[in-house]
Structure 1
Amino acid sequence: MGTVPMDDGDGGDTVTDLDPTDEALSALPQVGEREVETTLRPRRLADFVGQPRVREQLELVLASARKRGVPPDHVLLSGPPGLGKTSLAMIIAAELDAAIRITSGPALERAGDLAAMLSNLVEGDVLFIDEIHRIARPAEELLYLAMEDFRVDVVVGKGPGATSIPLEIAPFTLVGATTRSGALTGPLRDRFGFTGHMEFYAPDELEQVVRRSAAILGIEVHPDGAAEVARRSRGTPRIANRLLRRVRDYAEVRADGVVTLDVTRAALEVYDVDELGLDRLDRAVLGALVRSFNGGPVGVSTLAVAVGEEPATVEEVCEPYLVRAGMLARTPRGRVATVAAWEHLGMRPPAGSAVDFGVVELGRFDQSEPTLFD
């Protein structure tokens, strides 16, 4: 475990070096649309909105490490996309006054890619691996030894004459981010000293995010306009920032440039975002489930064909929010529309549909047929 052949390549094009103290990120007039998301990231833990529990725990970990003068334990951040895992990784580096090197799990296909990266780290550096659950198995096994003993084993030669040479690496802090913590192997998960789970944001927290982003971007936004953007952002700061920019576009072109409640509603109607934050694809899924399949149950593959999308898109993009909003239920027999889904589409569930008083009633199914739980 943890050995690297010498001819595995350097993987130099998979890494991004960032200096978290770079003042260039605050040069707003020169920032283009692609750089806006980076500009809106908070720079310090005190500026990070939401996730109070994770912030408090992480603050203790970092403060203790600074007091002892050693790199902090390795950090694992898990949770749905868009909640600030990458921002927290950059904040960790900034709080430690350290450089950060960024890569992703899919980019680390070979152990040599990771070995070259680790050998170039300076003591105290932060290595951020996004989507760490998708890292290749050889690289993951190399990471075990690097995380625990700060060394990697390099194999020189091939066959019976091969020799393993240990290579010391500088003490570093690994920050891993994952949207699927259950996909991590047990040995990798256990090597993280701190695990923080990111939760969806409350509307008042998202309103703070919107107001902060509006101030950075120079957007004049009324309180009711900020609240409306936050309410339709599905509990996700990334979506809130994206909707704010689209509302800004509408306000600049079709209004006086001020984001008010009426301007926000008109803009989001143009961009097919309804009052609950559902977009075109979300409504297409609910519409197919209700109109084509009488509310279900129906399998995700069949539902995906009905809306012209891949099953993975429906399952990973649409379903999490629809389930959380109480409009879709996953049952042993398939996906089922709830009363809330019927009402949101302006329809009433017919007799015999798989809902009862707003809750899916599994007892209405034919219990003589086997289910996944039998």
Structure 2
Amino acid sequence: MSAPMSGELSPQALPTEVSYEGALRPGSLSEFVGQEKVREQLGLLLGAAQIDGRTPDHILLAGPPGLGKTTLSMIVATELGVPLQQTSGPAIQHAGDLAAVLSALTPGEVLFIDEIHRMARSAEEMLYLAMEDFKVDIMVGKGAGATSVPLELAPFTLVGATTRAGLLPNPLRDRFGFTAHLEYYATSELEGVLSRAAGLLDFPLHDAGVVEIAGRSRGTPRIANRLLRRVRDYTLVHGTQPDERSVRAALSLYDVDEHGLDRLDREVLRIIVERFAGGPVGLSTLAASVGEEAETIESVVEPFLMRAGLIARSPRGRIATSLGWAHLGMAPPAH
């Protein structure tokens, strides 16, 4: 069988868009790039449980989107050699939903709940008992004749993921034996992520191209892999070399500038600077001005612009910094 041509998917990587992320996911802690302290902590937690022959403590993974929380949950199950059951907080809106999931778990299985802070309150209260004593109380009947029947559960490990750890109630947070806080990636770490992904895709991206994509990926592996895919598309369609020039042309086409700002980021910054003279601007006013949901501005755009030093928050609203003005090629007012 002949080797894949440059730009084609290797036999190890699946070709469909749906399977792209899955094809690039690391399968073990040793393959996972970045988050060194979290990897070491998880390795110790899982290793000790295996030596003792017990179910590991429940794990909470907290951090911004795209840093590898779902991947780490899969790795936990793989390292333990047990099945993984996945669900999400918004899908659990009643205690009965959670009871159905918990009762179906096999001994030692890993249950992953994404966006766990969005579970219904009644389900959260049931989860307290399930995490601590591996049992739940099921209500049978209605009205005065209703009775509570205890249901024993198989021992399991809960891996919860959240982008808003502060929204978790204290009783739930306290029942996790280990909380991992995932941090944004350094550019050098993202270069490792991209080099690994390019190798899996048999896409011979030049080193300068790797550096260029890493610098525009906002410290987030998910974004880095997404931009890599767009660059690969560009080279396939235009028949160009996978070098720095192609990277810049592709990312320019998709409105990702040299600092990683996309169209919405720049529009938010521009509105603050041009329409409101640098601010302060309230969140609801800013969201209405750019035609986006306030939650999108607050959870996606604002954290990156603040981390990049382009805007700041004050009691009265968002303010463009001198770096923010300079990014748009403008000078702030003298005052």
Distance 1:306 1:155 in 2: 49
SS in 1 for 2:30: helix
Aligned to 1:32: 16
**Aligned runs of 1:109-124 on 2, under 5 Å?**
109-124=93-108
Distance 2:216 2:47 in 1: 36
Q: Aligned match of 1:262 in 241, 245, 249?
A: 245
* Alpha-carbon RMSD: 1.2
**Aligned runs of 1:73-222 on 2, under 5 Å?**
73-222=57-206
The answer to whether the 8 Å contact 2:271/2:289 transfers is yes
CA deviations on 1:341-366 (whole Å, 9 max, x unpaired) are 111111111222xxxxxxxxxxxxxx
Displacement of 1:138 in angstroms is: 0.9
Aligned to 1:296: 279
Q: Aligned match of 1:313 in 279, 296, 299?
A: 296
SS in 2 for 1:220: coil
TM-score by length of 1: 0.85
1:280 aligns with 2:263: yes
Distance 2:39 2:212 in 1: 26
Distance 1:133 1:311 in 2: 19
Aligned to 2:30: 46
**Is the alpha carbon distance of 1:333 and 1:241 closer, same or farther for their aligned partners in structure 2, counting shifts above 3 Å?**
same
Distance 1:282 1:122 in 2: 45
CA deviations on 1:24-83 (whole Å, 9 max, x unpaired) are xx9646430111011111100100000011111110000000001111000000000000
Displacement of 1:132 in angstroms is: 0.1
Displacement of 1:161 in angstroms is: 2.2
Displacement of 1:319 in angstroms is: 0.3
SS in 1 for 2:111: strand
- Which residue identity does 2:128 align to in structure 1? Y
SS in 1 for 2:85: strand
Displacement of 1:300 in angstroms is: 1.5
Q: Across the two proteins, how many residue pairs are aligned to each other?
A: 326
Task: Give the fraction of aligned pairs with identical amino acids, expressed as a percent.
Answer: 63
Displacement of 1:103 in angstroms is: 0.1
1:234 aligns with 2:218: yes
Displacement of 1:111 in angstroms is: 0.8
SS in 2 for 1:259: coil
- Which residue identity does 2:197 align to in structure 1? S
The answer to whether the 8 Å contact 1:255/1:263 transfers is no
SS in 2 for 1:201: coil
Aligned to 1:360: none
**Is the alpha carbon distance of 1:313 and 1:29 closer, same or farther for their aligned partners in structure 2, counting shifts above 3 Å?**
closer
1:351 aligns with 2:334: yes
Aligned to 1:14: none
Distance 2:134 2:261 in 1: 47
- Which residue identity does 1:270 align to in structure 2? L
Distance 2:143 2:288 in 1: 51
Distance 2:175 2:293 in 1: 35
The answer to whether the 8 Å contact 2:311/2:318 transfers is yes
**Is the alpha carbon distance of 1:250 and 1:31 closer, same or farther for their aligned partners in structure 2, counting shifts above 3 Å?**
closer
Aligned to 1:4: none
1:329 aligns with 2:312: yes
Displacement of 1:160 in angstroms is: 2.4
SS in 2 for 1:94: helix
SS in 2 for 1:174: strand
Structure 2 segments unaligned to the other structure (5+ residues) = 1-9
TM-score by length of 2: 0.95
CA deviations on 1:1-21 (whole Å, 9 max, x unpaired) are xxxxxxxxxxxxxxxxxxxxx
Distance 1:247 1:29 in 2: 17
1:225 aligns with 2:204: no
CA deviations on 1:151-178 (whole Å, 9 max, x unpaired) are 1112222222222111111000000000
The answer to whether the 8 Å contact 2:13/2:201 transfers is no
